[in-house]
Amino acid sequence: MEENKKLSEIKDFVETAELFLVSQGDYQETLNIVAESALKVSAADRVCLIMKNKKEELMIEVGLPQYDHGICKKITPETGETLLRQVMGGESIVLVTNPCEDRRVAYMRELIMTYGISSILFLPLFFGGESTGILVFDWVDGGKFSKEILEKIKLFGRLASRAIGMEKKRKKDRKKILQDEKLRSLGEHSSQVAHIIRNSLTIIGGFSGRLLNRLTESKFGESKIDSELGETLWGTAKIIDDESKKLERIVNDILTITSLKSPVLEPHNINEFLKEELLRIDSNGLKLRLKLSKQLNGVNMAFDRNMMSICIQDLIRNAGEASASRILIKTKLKAKQREVMISATNDGKKINPYILKDIFSPFVTTKTDGTGLGLAIIQSIVKKHGGNIYVSSGDKTEFTITLPLVKP
């Protein structure tokens, strides 16, 4: 007899677990199943499922039997908020066996009297170490309530907490996937738009350049154009030419980011590469110094030379634009982590602390003619190599790139 009872209980639990599995993908359905199963497992007369919403408010999500609960109602101090939050914070079941006298449930005195509620049990739900909600069970007319039922409810609580928690997480993941998808398609569209704009700009730039050349060559006054009109025309053509070139640069930068291909990984020695890069740079008065790790001499690693060149050139250009007088470029082998560090340290203006955390985001700039795309491109290139880039700015500004030591 005893064995039959145990078997039927196990069957009940397996069925509940099955129901939770079936409801996957539908948050509200999972809540309904939790409440229905809770009613069955506990043999209670009423069950109410209260969940925390995004704003951390407590909301009645499901009530069974449905007609006597205020579904979608927010729990207020008048409807037991203090006690419910206490139970959720305490992480353990609270049982009220004499509700008529117990002051903790004074807020529901009317219900207790109307229905003849004899016991109330509060079961907090948890997921990932955080409280997510609470189940409230009521028994009426002295409904018997044994140690066994308590054990069953505890076990059920674990199952329900997990089912709801997983469903909540899935809901969040689905939202993120959708968001990523939106961003990806936005990226694709913006790159198409950038292409169209670039084509038109090339035409505008070409014609404004030709107009500017013609006007520069003509001697106003001697030709059909009088000198005042000639000056005006030249000034206007110059503005069109300058602005179209500026726009072309922005559009090209956007295209570089959105259509950045995978790096072509070929064997190079990082120290040799940096020495050659520095030779090609027009330092414009900025003192460039290299401090290269001897351990890296003769070590070849895989990277895309053209892409890495964009990074180095742009870091140096940024230092120059920050009124730096010197820049030190260092390499270091981090043998244990199997990575190589390349750092660029410059003096000059320090980075505004307000923009420091967003410095690698596109369009973050302090320059009137900057696009704010330089560092975004560098970060994108470094990440495509499986590396990372960090920044610190105080007395000196330092950008540190780490690249995995992938042997070619």
Ligand X SMILES: Nc1ncnc2c1ncn2[C@@H]1O[C@H](COP(=O)(O)OP(=O)(O)OP(=O)(O)O)[C@@H](O)[C@H]1O
- Indicate which of Mg ion, ligand X, none lies near residue 346 (CB less than 5 to 8 Å, by partner kind): ligand X
State how far the Cα of 388 lies from the Cα of 380, in Å rounded to an integer: 9
* Structure-block tokens of residue 73: 């109602």
Smallest distance from Mg ion to CB 398, Å: 16
User: What are the strands, taking DSSP E only, across 128-165?
Assistant: 130-140
The binding site for ligand X (CB under 6 A) comprises: 318-319, 322, 346, 348-349, 351, 359, 364-367, 370-376, 397
CB 305 within 8 A of CB 266: yes
Smallest distance from ligand X to CB 130, Å: 38
Residue whose CB is less far from ligand X, 201 or 322: 322
- Indicate which of ligand X, Mg ion, none lies near residue 364 (CB less than 5 to 8 Å, by partner kind): ligand X
Q: Which of 133, 362, 374, 387 binds Mg ion (CB under 5 A)?
A: 374
Smallest distance from ligand X to CB 206, Å: 23
Size of the site for Mg ion (CB under 5 A): 2
* Structure-block tokens of residue 219: 């001697």
Q: Which stretch binds Mg ion (CB under 5 A): 170-178, 224-232, 249-257, 368-376?
A: 368-376
State how far the Cα of 224 lies from the Cα of 175, in Å rounded to an integer: 66
- Indicate which of ligand X, Mg ion, none lies near residue 371 (CB less than 5 to 8 Å, by partner kind): ligand X
* Residues from 92 through 151 that contact Mg ion (CB under 5 A): none
Residue with smallest beta-carbon separation from ligand X: 374
State how far the Cα of 138 lies from the Cα of 227, in Å rounded to an integer: 96
Residue 372 binding Mg ion, by CB under 5 A: no
Query: 56: which DSSP letter?
Result: S
Residue whose CB is less far from ligand X, 370 or 404: 370
Buried b (16+ CB within 10 A) or exposed e, 161-193: bebbbebbeeeeeeeeeeeeeeeeeeeeeeeee
Q: At which residue do the structure tokens 């939106």 appear? A: 182
By CB under 5 A, name the binding residues for Mg ion. 318, 374
